[in-house]
Structure formats: C-alpha cells, structure tokens
Amino acid sequence: MLRWHLTSGAARWVRGGVVAALTVGLGTGAHVAAGGHAPPVTLLALVTIVLTGLAVAVAGRRFDASGLLGLFLLAQTGIHLTAMAAAPHGSMTDPAMIATHVLAAAALVLVVLHGERALLASLDHLLPRIRADRTSAPRPRATVVACSPRPLVGSAAPADLLGRAPPVPS
C-alpha cells in the first residue's frame, strides 16, 4: 500500500478546497430544497473562500467522523444564516429547514470519508500498475535500414514488377 500525504503541501489545499466546495454546494442545495432562496453567487464565493481556509486548517490532520460532523454543522449554520441575511424568508427555526441542513451535514461526512478512502484505494491500485508498465516496458530502439536503389536493368520486365491486376467486376 502506498502512503499518501494529504495533510501537507498542495494536497492539503486541494483537500480543503474540495471539502469547502462540497459543503457550500450541498448546503445551498439543502437550503433551497427546504424552501429557502439561494444567496447571490458572489456571497457564495466569499463563503467558499472562508470555508476553504477553515477546511485547510482542519485538513492538516486525518479526518474523523465526529470532527467532520461538527465542522459541517457549523458550516451549514453559516450557510443558512448567510442565505437568510441575503434573502429573508420564513422562520429561522423552521423544522424542515433545520432537518435538511442536518441531513446535508451527515451526507457530507459520508461523502468526504468514504470518497477520500475510495480515491486513495483507487490510487493505490492504479498507480503501481502504471509505474510498473512504464518501467518494465522495453524501450523502442531506433532501427536503421540501409537501402540502396537499384536500377531496373536486366530480365525484370515492367509487367513482372507490377504484379497482378485487380479482378474485373462481373
């Protein structure tokens, strides 16, 4: 099994960015599904940037279900409050709205934990094969073919050189 270092460097930023994008996308979808209005795209972009910073900070260690659930519930609350501030509607404590945001947080935990494991298992399976194929494959060698044109002299008649004609259609 290969070791993947997703808690540092660029991988940490990608990991945090994916988590933030999933959180904002599913949170906004849950809010709209429960009868709310979607906030403006610029506001969603700002929320995504803030959540990316938060997710990158958390992505410095291994994800666990309870930590992610807390992060996602906090994020869902922020998305709900942002959407309500942008377009006030209904009650802040509407049970359907709360239920969809809680379900969105729970779904995010499953998606992130299982999705990350599936991605790493796929990489563990595929990359050694790709590397093995690249290193074990024989390198093509350049073949030099020397030929010297010969003049058509001697007994070879033009008909002998051309071969047979194609069959005549009937």
Are 48 and 24 within 8 A, CB to CB?
A: yes
pLDDT of residue 1: 46
DSSP state letters, 1-32: ------SSHHHHHHHHHHHHHHHHHHHHHHHH
- Mean pLDDT of all residues in 72-82: 87
pLDDT of residue 123: 78
Cα–Cα dist 72/124, whole Å: 28
The domain spans of the chain are 9-136
Are 36 and 97 within 8 A, CB to CB?
A: yes
Give the pLDDT band of residue 120 (cuts 50, 70, 90). Answer: confident
pLDDT digits (tens, 9 = 90+) for 51-71: 898 888 887 777 788 888 888
Q: Is the pLDDT assigned to residue 37 strictly greater than 70?
A: yes
Distance (Å) of CA 126 to CA 119, 129, 131: 10, 5, 9
pLDDT of residue 137: 54
Give the pLDDT band of residue 159 (cuts 50, 70, 90). Answer: low
